[in-house]
Every structure is written in C-alpha cells, then in structure tokens.
A and B are shown apart, each in its own frame.
Chain A
Amino acid sequence: MTDGEPAVSAGATACEECGETWAYDRARCRVCGSESFRAVALGTGELVATTVSRVTPPGVREPNPLGVARFANGVQVTAQLADEDLTVGNRVVLARDYELRHGTRGPRLESG
C-alpha cells in the first residue's frame, strides 16, 4: 500500500485471467494463481447479517454496528454500518470515508 491510500478499499479486484472477484487484498488469484488484476466497483449489495458489538477494542467506537454484505459475483465483506437501523435484506453500498478506528480510515456500509 502506498501513502495516501485509505487503509480499507471501497472497491473490489477481478482476476484478468479467470474473472474471479474478491474484496480483500491478495497477492495472487486463489482460483488460477494469476497475479494480473484489475480494479472493479463493488456496486450495490445486500446486507445478509448484522450485529451491534457493544464491547469494543481500544480506539473503536462503542457501540459498533457491523454487517456482512453480499455483492455481485458472490463477493462478501464485513464492515461497519453507517446506520444502526440498517437490517438484513437492505440494499447497501460501501462508501465514503470514516474514521473506522483510531488512525484508520475507510468506507462504511450505507443504505444503497
């Protein structure tokens, strides 16, 4: 990661060789092993699970509403919810720039 990039990307990565798509950084494609990637947008997904973490680590908001969202091509991410009222089944996007924990910034799941 280079200076100036957010710690957490709002996008996804697709393999140039086989099309496998993922959200979390990888050195190579877990399906075909290729190291040739391109950035793709996550788009709009669906919230599939939620919780509100009420005992949080140092430097993290408390309470900390969290969710798992599923996007196109089966890509899933765990992320903070921008709004505790978001519920399973809601359409969501991973967007904007928040302080996620002390010293770490990135996007949250918002109503899409």
Chain B
Amino acid sequence: MTRFRGDADATIHTLLETAARRALGDASVAAGDLDAVHVANMAAEAFDGVSGLHNALTASIGAHGAQADRVENTSASGASAFQRGVQAVASGAADSALVVGGERMSDASTETATGVIGSIVHPREHAYGVTLPSFGGLAADTYLRRHDAPYEALASVAAKNHANGARNEYAQFQSEISVAEAADSPRVADPLRLYDCCPTTDGAAAVLIESTGEAESQGAGEDESENESEGGDSAVTVRACESAVGTHAVAERDDLLHMESVASAGEAAFAAADRDRDDVDVACIHDAFTVLELLELEELGFYGAGEAWQATIDGETALDGALPVNPGGGLKARGHPLGATGVSQLVELVWQLRGDADGRQVDCETGLAVNVAGFGNNAICTILEVSA
C-alpha cells in the first residue's frame, strides 16, 4: 500500500499503480500472469475528474488480457472488490486476482467532498442535509444515553487508535492524542467532536489473491492463499469473505444502534469460516466515527450491548489487550481514502498474521475485518488466517 496522506503528491492513477506494483512484487507474481484486476474506488469522477481507473491501471502495469472492472460500494468499495476477487478465484474463473483500492480526496473542496459523500444517504435524509457525521452524532447520542456512558467512552477509542497509528509508518496521523485533547476538539455533530471523526485521505492499497488449487475440495471454496504487499513470504488464507445489506434509511431501523448489515455479514463469515469470536486474535473495525467501533464490536458479538465502551477504557482492545482492535490505527488514524480502506484493513491483517507489523505486532493466527458502506447500508466481513 501507499503511505496514507492528507494531500498526496501523486495522481489517483499513480497511487493505484504504486500499491499494485508493491503487491505484485511482494507476491513475486508477474502482471502478465494475472487473470483478473478489481479496482475499488468510490468517486474518482467527482474527486479527480476521471473514470475508467481499472482499464488505465491494468494497462499501465502490463496485465494485458486480464479481465478488469471497478467495484463501487461507497466506503466499503475496497472489501467488495476483495470479495469479487475471492469469488473469481474460488469459482475457478481466475487463478490469480489483483485487488487494488484507492481514492484521492484532497483535490476536491470541502464542499465538494461533503456533497459527494452526503449523496449516499437516503433521498429523504438528503433533503434534510443529513451527513454521515450527523448519523454518527445521532447514534453516539443514543449510545451514551442508553448505556449511561460518559463522552470519554468515545474519546478513548480515538486515543487508542491514534496510539496505534503512531506506530504505523503508513498512517496519515502518526501522533498520539489524549482523551482530554479529544474532548477539547471542535464539535462536529454533537456529541461527536473532531477527533471522533475519520479524516479525508489520499491513498491506495492492494492485495493479491491466488488459488491454492484446493478449491474443489473445499465445498464453498473460500480457501485461497493470499499474498500482498511488503515483505515476508508466508501465505495467508482467506477463511471467509461475506457481505450483507441493511436498510438504506437509518430511521427505518427499529433500533438506531442496530447495524443489521454488520451483524448479518459477521454471522455469515463466522459460519463460512467455521470459527467463533473466541478464535479471533485481532480485528480491523470500520471506525469512521468512534461510536462505530463500539457498535460494530457489539454487533459482531465480541461484546454485549453497551459493554464495548468500558472494555475500551479498560484497555481490552489496545495492542496488549485481549482483543487488539485496529492495530494499524483504523480509519481514525491510518486514514480513510474511501475505496482503499477495506483493502488497507486486509493489508494490516496480513502484516499482523505474517508477523511483519513492526512496532505494533500482536500475537495472532486469526484476524477479522469489517468494512462498512454508508452508515451501515452494507457491510463485508472477512476472516483471514495463518497456520499455527
């Protein structure tokens, strides 16, 4: 992947190509041998004034003859492209698939970026000027009120993820913040403050999915070796990659704290992987807003309703905790280049599972990632593993 930055000195094409070449180099695969290239990107037309990213990338890396397409699933485009690649390899349609996610958001004005991202909400909510941070504010208001939790419940997520980002040379923010600093930052959508919200980011990430040649004997067939960028030579296995949609309009959920898409994708992934919560050693959670990390940990069944915030304050989700969450800094500190995010979560898991996460390594054999579109419109849950 590329270093995530607030303002990268590179075009979207260059970011994608850089990440792609690093992944191919890491896996020692020649671009000409690729069968499929799946590019994740949400809004290059609006942010960069370009389209057809997948064809440009596939040609520039020299993957002549490969099938190529672009996958758009808003902020979960990355994991959706990965799911497409996994399905291509599992079905036998491809022996090797390159998945590259990228977004370059910094050229757009704040107004344009807010307008583009705001356009994904339900038309009725759009009429009211509801933004994604607004949903974060409504959910956070509900969470703190229902569980009688202090604002520090949210800020402790931000402080933890910044501490992890400070150990990740690819992160946009590599500095620690205190809970007090978060609590003093400007208000964005009450009770959320600036440090409760992910930034806008430029960056790209890539992984390579290869068949183990065992797909036919694996039933559902979700068992591929997967290598990706940067160092190490041990393959990581895809145990599961499952997705599910939820309601489009947030108000049409019976409970504002219920993220049906996350719960459904998680259940499906645990079932497909034949694994349970206790098997997961490390997790990358879609913390676009601090409250989402708490909600998703609870929806996935790692904690009961209203329990994740105290666990976070108690350090259970820190690097040295029982379940390290977002060891790379999460969306909060690593950054959130929309189309790249889901792939960057998987890159972090691969580094962790290989033992290559210098400075932030946790003890792990099984890792889980969840990438969420919109405010729970869609979610993809992936479980990766290395042999003990």
Contact = CB atoms under 8 A, between A and B. Distances in A.
Interface string B141-178: 11001000000000000000000000000000000000
Given A23-B251, A66-B138, A77-B251, A53 B127 contact: no
Interface residues of B, number: 35
Contacts of B115: 57-58
Interface stretch (B98-106, B117-125, B318-326, B377-385): B117-125
A14 interface: no
Interface residues of A, number: 35
Interface string B363-382: 00000000000000000000
Given A8-B124, A48-B142, A49-B256, A101 B250 contact: no
B129 to A, nearest CB: 3
Contact of B128 (A49, A58, A76, A80): A80
Nearest to B191: A51
Given A8-B124, A51-B138, A88-B141, A74 B189 contact: no
Given A49-B256, A52-B189, A24 B122 contact: yes
A54 B189 contact: yes
A35 B254 CA distance: 23
A53 B128 CA distance: 11
A88 B190 CA distance: 13
B128 A66 contact: yes
B131 A104 contact: no
B78 interface: no
B251 A56 contact: no
Given A51-B140, A55-B131, 4 more contacts: A7-B127, A49-B141, A64-B128, A80-B129
4 closest residue pairs by CB, A with B: A51-B137, A60-B129, A76-B251, A78-B251
